[in-house]
């Protein structure tokens, strides 16, 4: 398979994940960029932020049209995460590649196991508990900046488990959080953008943007519980694959 073909296929899958699940794009993009397309971990995480930001904006627009976004909750999460995202974004360029890859795998594994646990979900949204919401948002921002991920694979479990959002509303809201946190992390990573292979990133991002629209349509046809299980199994598979790569 050619590099262009791989970038297009991977981009389409990233878009589908973001559009349907409100996250998971980065946990697909980063391993492909590193293990298949030959990017270094730092370059891969920066490229992933560029791809995921463009795709998240597209998916957010689609979900907002159907009122599947809690703007108040998403803004609180994102605001709490902006400074941590920028600080850890600077730190990421100074740690060994193996540390970045291992940390990414562990975080994905924890999130997958958390989502496989049954969670009480209510209709609509609980009253926002400021301290837990702010703490979750700050932690999410830190992970976004350090690992170059949008954070949707952590935002969705937090929005469902901490605030009790329905899965479909959590998906749309997480896209708002991803967009803001990714922009903050990119601002801190301006020095790592040089030397990126735009001949790979551009088609990857283009396919992801188109895939996000299909993902949104797919989400409308599936139950929230099924979406959550699919999301968790996908995360678990990627996490185990990356952990094996770090250990061997």
In this predicted model, what pLDDT tens digit does every residue of 157-195 receive, in sequence order? 778 777 778 878 888 898 898 888 888 888 877 766 667
pTM value?
Answer: 0.73
Low-confidence ranges of the chain (pLDDT < 70): 1, 24, 115, 118-130, 148-150, 191-194, 223-224, 228
For 88, residues 6+ apart whose C-beta sits below 8 A from its C-beta are: 141, 142, 143, 144, 145, 146, 185
Structure tokens belonging to residue 45: 């995480």
pLDDT, residue 123, reads 44
pLDDT, residue 118, reads 59
What Cα–Cα distance (Å) separates residue 215 from each residue in 14, 33, 220, 234?
9, 21, 9, 15
User: How far is 229 from 166, CA to CA, in rounded Å?
Assistant: 14
Q: Where are the domains of the chain?
A: 3-247
Place of tokens 């998240």: 56
Let me know if 218 is exposed, middle or buried by CB neighbors in 10 A (0-12, 13-18, 19+): middle
Q: What is the CA radius of gyration of the chain?
A: 16
User: How far is 143 from 177, CA to CA, in rounded Å?
Assistant: 13
pLDDT, residue 124, reads 47
């Amino acid at each position: 398979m050619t590099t262009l073909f791989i970038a297009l296929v991977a981009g389409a899958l990233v878009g589908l994940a973001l559009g349907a699940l409100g996250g998971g794009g980065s946990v697909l993009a980063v391993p492909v960029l590193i293990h298949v397309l030959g990017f270094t971990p730092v370059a891969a995480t920066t490229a992933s932020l560029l791809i995921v930001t463009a795709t998240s904006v597209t998916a957010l627009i689609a979900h907002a049209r159907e009122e599947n976004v809690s703007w108040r909750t998403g803004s609180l999460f994102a605001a709490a995460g902006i400074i941590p995202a920028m600080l850890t974004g600077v730190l990421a360029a100074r740690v060994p590649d193996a540390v970045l890859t291992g940390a990414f795998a562990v975080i994905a594994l924890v999130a997958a196991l958390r989502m496989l646990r049954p969670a009480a979900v209510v209709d609509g949204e609980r009253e926002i508990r400021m301290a837990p919401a702010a703490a979750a948002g700050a932690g999410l921002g830190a992970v976004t900046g350090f690992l170059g991920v949008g954070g949707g694979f952590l935002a969705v479990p937090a929005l469902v488990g901490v605030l009790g959002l329905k899965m479909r509303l959590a998906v749309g809201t997480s896209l708002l959080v991803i967009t803001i946190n990714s922009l903050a992390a990119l601002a801190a990573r301006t020095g790592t953008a040089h030397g990126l292979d735009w001949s790979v990133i551009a088609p990857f991002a283009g396919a992801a943007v188109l895939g996000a629209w299909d993902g949104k349509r797919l989400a409308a046809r599936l139950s929230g519980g099924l979406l959550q299980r699919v999301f968790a199994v996908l995360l678990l598979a990627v996490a185990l694959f990356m952990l094996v790569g770090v250990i061997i």
